[in-house]
Amino acid sequence: MLKFPKTLSIVFCLSLCATPVFAGKLNLGREATKAEIKAWDIDVRPDGQGLPEGKGTVEKGEQVFAEQCAACHGDFGEGVDRWPVLAGGLGTIKSEDPVKTVGSYWPYASTVFDYIYRAMPFGNAQSLSPDEVYAVTAYILYLNEIVAEDFELSKKNFTSIKMPNEKNFFADPRPDTPSRSKKKPCMKNCKKEVKITKRARIINVTPEEDKKTAAKE
Amino acid sequence: MTTKLNTPELSRRALLKSAAAGGVTLAASATVTAGATTAAQALEKETKENPITTKQDWNQVLGDGVDANPYGKPSEYEKNVIRRSVPWLTASPESSINFTPLHELDGIITPNGLCFERHHAGIAEVDPTEHRLMINGLVDKPLVFTMEDLKRFPRTNKIYFLECAANSGMEWRGAQLNGCQFTHGMIHCVNYTGVLLKDILAEAGLKTNAKWLMPEGADASGMNRSVPIEKALKDCMVAFKMNGEALRPEQGYPLRLVIPGWEGNMWVKWLRRIEVGDMPWHAREETSKYTDLMENGKARRFTWEMDCKSIITNPSPQAPITHGKGHTVLTGLAWSGRGTIDRVDITLDGGKNWQKARIDGPSLDKALHRFYFEFEWDGRPLLLQSRAIDSTGYVQPTKDELREVRGTNSIYHNNGIQTWHVNGKGEAENVEIS
């Protein structure tokens, strides 16, 4: 008895309410052409999806790196000024001063390829050919002692590269501090004594201009 | 220029009168601090440059007519209200960050010109007529949209905060930068106008194995991130307006992704493509960066929601108390990437005792909340903290509570309680306490 009118009202609403507002297809936009997709679809995943045809040796990579990358990253990926350090840092990740490099931290080699292919060299992005990107990636892997000096990286052997730190990544487990239901926030007489333990003024790294602003009245 | 009507006689009379009536106040004030302006001195100054008895230019002469500033700009007296950067933080200004001047703002909306900037390859200056959004990958039909096409989808308006995952990142190891602009200014909150991402995806038709999206920017960093499909279909937007006007170039003009409550890096600016896939991409900004390194060498990834957090914006190091003791307005901001703010507690004594602050203005999902706490300041030093609790019951932790779980190498997602020490002169400093 009850089911019938309910079904009726749903049908009624679908036809009269939903359809005129938004049917799912508004016929907006147009189909992307194959050439357009090819021009923009440059992303590369850890399983190798998206890798372009090509190959490059460590030796070739060293040349390209010296010309295109070393000004910021240093000849051996050691980093110039505050530009990113790309190599080394093994064994530092648990220390007080971790050096997060491709070798010591990055979980996937595909990330190196994807990032160089889309964003490097800084200020002249997407100027390297796929072969050059394979070569530079190979060189960076070599600097991190992941491949040998005579290695040639290619679309074919790419997914055989395993990064040493991959196993150390895990999914976000938050919340990792107690919620109200587990620990009621204290409101009265929560501490007996309070002492200042750290002060920003002693470190004195706040930009100068701002101190002038703070002093204004 | 008009003549200032300063009468020495008036000044003397006013001063004498005040000294006679306020002898007690004068003595009490003098004992507070040597640097504080006494009530009598303040009155003398006020009388000499009296804004009531002195005629001002703006009382007499004509101001600019309409169209003097066809777009409009703030008063010249507000010239300190600007974004600021910390040059030593990054290698170049093109891949850098600046900070919202939270201590100069009120309410919950950030003005467009003050929203902090974070670019990875400078500001892309995109011609909107040349801009396209492509949807490809695991869809029935890959599509291309012009800006005009996108504006023909049903529009929606939402107020959301955007916080960089690195906000307060410099404070993981201890109090470092002296000002809430620098410690907490990688956040803004604006009203977005745009269309729901799910409507755009429906046009292309998602395949049954569509599990992840990869939004990508049109700038020279080609910013890309992986977004799970559940979030995309729940509340993500593709926005073209902020606070009623077109997005600013530095915020992704003409199109940006809006991922409510989640870390700012994912809100891809200059959005030009969304690829649909069956697994995440593990792009640079979700592996090498924006992952939280624990003490044991393991690292958390896909740390998306920005947890509940709050900050007292006034008083703060850049905004000291200048009026001396007496009635004082404390204010600040609270937010949560998991909902609304239920409550904000304030302590004046470093956490010995707490009182509830007053939340004023709209309380919207994943938006900034404004709180106030009015009190009588007796002129003694204060240790100020705010503690927010969100609609899920999550309590903003102390910095030490976070360090206990995560160590000090984490950099990102620092939502610990901030402490300001206010001295007897009303000057504030970024400190940590036991």
B209 touching A (Cβ < 8 Å): no
Considering only CA atoms, which of A100, A101, A126 is closest in space to residue A115? Answer: A126
In a domain, A183, yes or no: no
* Site of tokens 């007053």: B358
Quick one: pLDDT at residue B49? Answer: 75
* Dihedral-angle region of residue B85 (phi above 0 means left; psi in -120 to 50 means alpha; beta otherwise): beta
The answer on B330 and B398 residing in a single domain is yes
The answer on B330 and B286 residing in a single domain is no
* Site of tokens 């003791």: B325
CB pairs A-B closer than 8 Å: 268
In a domain, A26, yes or no: no
CB A76 within 8 A of CB A140: no
In a domain, A135, yes or no: yes
Written as tens digits, the pLDDT of chain A (217 aa) is 344 444 444 444 444 444 444 446 899 999 999 999 999 999 999 999 999 999 999 999 999 999 999 999 999 999 999 999 999 999 999 999 999 999 999 999 999 999 999 999 999 999 999 999 999 999 999 999 999 999 999 999 999 999 999 999 999 999 999 999 998 999 999 999 999 999 998 888 998 754 444 433 3
**Cα–Cα distances in Å, from A210 out to A204, B183, B340?**
12, 13, 32
Q: Rounded to 5 degrees, what are φ and ψ at B328?
A: -130, 135
Quick one: pLDDT at residue A202? Answer: 86
In a domain, B3, yes or no: no
CATH number reported for the structural domain that contains residue A75 in this entry: 1.10.760.10
The answer on B284 and B324 residing in a single domain is no
In a domain, B349, yes or no: yes
d(CA B253, CA B250): 7
d(CA B304, CA B309): 15
* Site of tokens 């005579």: A150
- Which of these three, B249, B271, B300, is where a domain ends? B300
In a domain, B239, yes or no: yes
Averages of pLDDT over each 10 residues, chain B, 434 residues: 39 42 39 55 73 90 96 97 94 94 98 98 98 98 98 98 97 95 98 98 97 98 98 98 98 98 98 98 98 98 98 98 98 98 98 98 98 98 98 97 96 98 98 97
- Dihedral of the alpha carbons of A38, A40, A45, A48, in degrees to the nearest 10: 20
The answer on B415 and B275 residing in a single domain is no
B203 half-sphere exposure, CB direction, 13 A CA radius:
25
In a domain, B201, yes or no: yes
The answer on B169 and B121 residing in a single domain is yes
The answer on B116 and B46 residing in a single domain is no
- Taking only residues 117 to 146 of chain B, the set having a beta carbon closer than 8 angstroms to any beta carbon of chain A reads 120-121, 134-136, 141-146
Quick one: pLDDT at residue B210? Answer: 98
Across the interface, of A24, A172, A176, the residue whose CB is closest to B405 is A176
Look up the domain containing A109 and give its range: 54-158
Inter-chain CB proximity A123 and B94 less than 8 Å = yes
In a domain, B287, yes or no: yes
pLDDT in tens, A127-153: 999 999 999 999 999 999 999 999 999
Q: No. of H helices and E strands in chain B? A: 9, 24
The answer on B316 and B284 residing in a single domain is no
In a domain, B72, yes or no: no
- Taking only residues 20 to 59 of chain B, the set having a beta carbon closer than 8 angstroms to any beta carbon of chain A reads none
Residue A166 CB contacts under 8 Å (≥ 6 apart), including other chains: A107, A108
Considering only CA atoms, which of B244, B217, B52 is closest in space to residue B123? Answer: B217
Number of independent structural domains in chain B: 3
Average confidence score pLDDT of chain A: 89
The answer on B262 and B219 residing in a single domain is yes
**Per the structure block, which two tokens stand in for B131?**
């801009």
From B406's Cα to the closest Cα of chain A, the distance in A is: 9
Inter-chain CB proximity B350 and A194 less than 8 Å = yes
In a domain, A99, yes or no: yes
In a domain, A18, yes or no: no
Number of independent structural domains in chain A: 1
Quick one: pLDDT at residue A159? Answer: 98
CB B164 within 8 A of CB B156: no
CB B195 within 8 A of CB B156: yes
* Site of tokens 């990113």: A84
In a domain, A165, yes or no: no
Look up the domain containing B33 and give its range: 8-60
The answer on B382 and B293 residing in a single domain is no
Quick one: pLDDT at residue A28? Answer: 97
CATH number reported for the structural domain that contains residue B113 in this entry: 3.90.420.10
Q: Which residues of B are less than 8 Å from A192 in CB distance? A: 352
A45 touching B (Cβ < 8 Å): yes
Residue of chain B whose Cα is closest to the Cα of A200: B176
Cα B418 to its chain centre, rounded Å, is 15
- Which of these three, B300, B327, B347, is where a domain ends? B300
* Site of tokens 């992307």: A32
Inter-chain CB proximity B203 and A25 less than 8 Å = yes
The answer on B343 and B264 residing in a single domain is no
The answer on B235 and B199 residing in a single domain is yes
A113 touching B (Cβ < 8 Å): no
Sign of CA dihedral B184, B190, B195, B199: positive
In a domain, A215, yes or no: no
- Which of these three, B235, B266, B300, is where a domain ends? B300
In a domain, B217, yes or no: yes
A22 touching B (Cβ < 8 Å): yes
A3 touching B (Cβ < 8 Å): no
d(CA B269, CA B271): 5
In a domain, B75, yes or no: no
The answer on B271 and B145 residing in a single domain is yes
Query: Tell me, what amino acid is at A198?
Result: K
